[in-house]
Structure 1
């Protein structure tokens, strides 16, 4: 068990937890803990002004707010992960998308997957990005006409939009024009910088989309996005410590840059120098992140005291309720539009 896991089990008082976490981070003990263990252990956001820090795949977020587990046109999934935190503008946009999804025929609304952890940063499992509160995953399944139980939200299987026998082909029995409208609706918002989908889905859109073709450039092909699509916002105005991504190239992206994904090159293993010494894989450590992320990690939690320490990987299968409940977490108000 990691040092932070022991903290979570042995210390109950928030002040004691903060003191020990501070001591660990200030000494060599924390330097031995990968950043994903440190950020994956805290369950509440830092009581700081909202600020995304660093880049989408190397950073953190101060003053994150929670997406409520339930809304009139959305339900959050996989609640035990505690990854429904983000910038207020992201939460506001998801609320808007959910209402627009219902309007265009996407059932009762949307199912929302991972945003970020309470303080962002690297995750124990899964994403390389989602670190600064500006990324969110939307399932390719509409919200049902009833509220799913916490257990159902944990166990509900993903549904791929691809054919099982043809990995790079969209399954026409599942993919519908409403799927396309939902993806392109997300791409239509000025705040959205990119929408990531599987290359086969991007090609399907290139071949069939009859709406504004200029928006197709925002839809970017990336493997691993066949069961959901991924929304990424621009760095908010005035967020000086947010590192933007390179701008999307001009055009609809339905060119040789898309064709590349259907060649063998994306799967080719890098050529190795036979004379080179083996390099041991290295974990991302706290010092690899922007310096301000140390402050974010050590700051008291919203609501007073320290953030409770609990390693996500050690949570039991029965710990399925929202963490914490919507009435107990900060939400953006007023919510920007």
Structure 2
């Protein structure tokens, strides 16, 4: 366990590593906006950086400010969410943009409390934006940070399955007192977990704190559980995504039977993005009952709406 007297050396080692090893990401650029940081933090939830980069760039070009997104229909946010997954995040960002215009004059506020009050913004996102966009000293704790703390300090292979109060206390104890250093520390530990101290294949030889790592000192004990990836093929989630892909490519409402029944000739030919999305949906071979569940879920979550003409993205 690190003692208080070890902390300056720990901070220095990790931050110096970050200064040379950090990825060049646009939301870390000196000229990035607080809005760009907020968008990145929402997109990065449960989504790898490589998938977020092109979508973030497209969003920032299309909607460079909260007011730009707020002026668009919610369905446009869903349409341009692409294949990032968990598309309700797009609706949450749109709702946050509307609130920023209504409550804050179109600017992203700089305090944790104000950020937390925005629709769809939780404690992690509020802390991350306050830290990375405004230089506030906040306790930012994501999965990567939790894993580094678990190994380096507590000697366990993986953190608890769910975030615990003990983990939050540990993160608070490790946080540098000076705000600017605390921001660098949060970013550096997060990057260390993403690039070196990974869940399945940690590169311990590249770790800047390997000499003091409690997990290495204990002989790299096995984890108490094995992380399991979520099933995808054949699930309601897969069908739901395929239905939503059709709605994203459609320029207007889609007749319900086109989504729920077998292949229907719409006279679209074999070309075009809508035709391709319909083909992908039908190739899944999902029964009508499963498609119905997927569509009902999209309607319940506000990701689609039904009009007299058919199903469409929310207006």
TM-score, length basis structure 1 = 0.25
Higher relative contact order (CA 8 A, sep 6+): 1
Of Structure 1 and Structure 2, the greater strand share is in 1
